[in-house]
Amino acid sequence: MSDEVGVPSTPPVDDWASDYDIFDADYINDPYPIWADLRGECPVATTERWGGSFLPTRYEDVVEMARMVPSLSSADPIVVRPPDDQIDASGAYHTVNAPPISADPPVHTWSRRLILPAFSPKATAKHEPYTRELCNKLIDDFIETGQVDGAQDYAQQIPPRVIAHLLGVDEGKADEFTEWVRGVLEIGLSNPAVRQASREKIFGFFQQEVADRRVNPKDDLISELMAAEVDGEPISDNHIVGTCNLLLVAGIDTTWSSIGSALWHLAGHPDDRKRLVGDPSLIPNAVEELLRAYSPVTMARVVSEETEFKGCPMHVGDKVLMNFPGANRDPEMFDNPDVVDIERQQNRHVAFGVGIHRCAGSNLARMEMHVALEEFLARIPEFALAEGGEVTWAGGQVRGPRQLPIVF
């Protein structure tokens, strides 16, 4: 168990159906057999750990739960709640202010609509040249050495810069952004004190960015949000800062994890790698398949009214983990779900969620993955995992490699 990624030490799990632990080392390193067992045995698992939650494992159930709006509310998408004595005096940072991901309709509807145009296929395509240049610069830095940590020196470096570029903030702060986001989603996931401190940094940063633009409006997404109106009213600074917080947090760990998992797969599967090198037009389809097989994101819901799911009672305050990664490995939905078939034709994967909270950044994330793989494969067609090198994974609610030694 690595302290580096903040994985807490937890008592071993005997019965996954009634006592699962998303921070268990086995779960982080290889959750797939655990979900496969649960699907047959007890498709919606429960646990008292970390404040208690439900874990669906079937595609059908995950999709149905995603549509149970608002009884399964998005008000608190992080599963581990801070204990009362750890909540800061103002209470400002213990809940998530990150619309639309933290909102239900009607706030969800307008706050999502506000950001969608910045992430349409057309708007996203505008960031492609920047992303391509960035990937090449990163490759320039290590190509002569014959080795790279694919997670830290490549995958991790891309999303924070692309999102900074899109928001209009200093790309030079990319490492800080990454640190803050890991403070929320990795180390801070099981450690609410770290999470609060990281949130304070993110909010402080964006409050300053908003204040600067009050004086000097710019041509960027933050300024656009500041100029926007909903029903004739301007949007509150608190809302804008919350949305910027979301775009930073949602855009970094997730995409980094996906690019990293894709490189990890290709490093260990020379046949797939060679096929993509030989025919880069297969990359978009491969990206969807890699997203299916190694989906990084599991967001939570909180039960907001007494309800039941297939006869199983759910009480107000209970948490539900939207197990999109598990849904994507369900044999009822996908033939040979544990086999990565980069030419898979039928692939209704839900790596980006399903229903009203479908990842608003999915076009951007796809573009980043596509460009990152295309450029890497073009310049480094032959590569493999370093012998004896250790691959480590972050888990919890966003899963992906954090150390990925590659040689070429």
Partner 1 sequence: MRIVVDSEKCEGHNRCYSIAPELFDVDDYGYATEANGGVVPEGMEDKARLAIDNCPEYAITIVEE
Judged by the rule CB under 6 A, the positions of this chain that interact with ligand HEM are: 74, 77, 100-101, 112, 163, 246-247, 250-251, 254-255, 258, 296-297, 299, 322, 324, 351-353, 357, 359-361, 364-365
First-to-last alpha carbon distance for the chain, in angstroms, is 28
CA distance 1 to 15: 20
Question: Crossing angle, helix 362-379 and helix 128-142, to 10 degrees?
Answer: 40
Minimum distance, C-beta of residue 282 to ligand HEM, in the bound complex (Å): 19
Q: Reduced to 3 states, what is the DSSP secondary structure of residue 65?
A: helix
Any idea what DSSP says for residue 305? S
Query: Which range in 71-79, 113-121, 217-225, 394-402 contacts partner 1 by CB under 8 A?
Result: 113-121
Minimum distance, C-beta of residue 141 to ligand HEM, in the bound complex (Å): 23
Minimum distance, C-beta of residue 89 to ligand HEM, in the bound complex (Å): 29
Token output for 73:
């509310």
CA distance 193 to 35: 30
Applying CB under 8 A, among 33, 83, 105, 117 the residue interacting with partner 1 is 117
Looking up tokens 């404040």 gives: 51
The yes or no reply on residue 336 touching partner 1 (CB under 8 A) is no
CA distance 189 to 191: 6
The yes or no reply on residue 109 touching partner 1 (CB under 8 A) is no
Residue pair 328/351 in contact by the 8 Å Cβ criterion:
yes
Residue pair 55/20 in contact by the 8 Å Cβ criterion:
yes
Q: Which is nearer to ligand HEM, 114 or 391 (CB)?
A: 114
Minimum distance, C-beta of residue 111 to partner 1, in the bound complex (Å): 13
Q: Which is nearer to ligand HEM, 54 or 352 (CB)?
A: 352
Question: Crossing angle, helix 362-379 and helix 270-278, to 10 degrees?
Answer: 90
In one-letter notation, the amino acid at residue 389 is G
C-alpha dihedral over 325, 326, 332, 333, to 10 degrees? Answer: -10
Q: Which is nearer to partner 1, 121 or 381 (CB)?
A: 121
Q: Which is nearer to ligand HEM, 353 or 386 (CB)?
A: 353
Minimum distance, C-beta of residue 314 to partner 1, in the bound complex (Å): 24
Minimum distance, C-beta of residue 62 to ligand HEM, in the bound complex (Å): 10
Query: Which range in 117-125, 190-198, 213-221, 373-381 contacts partner 1 by CB under 8 A?
Result: 117-125
Biggest distance spanned by C-alpha atoms of the chain: 61
Residue pair 22/397 in contact by the 8 Å Cβ criterion:
yes
Give residue number: closest CB to ligand HEM.
361
The yes or no reply on residue 106 touching partner 1 (CB under 8 A) is no
Which residues are near partner 1 by CB under 8 A? 113, 116-117, 119-122, 284, 288, 345-350, 352, 354-356, 358, 362-363, 366
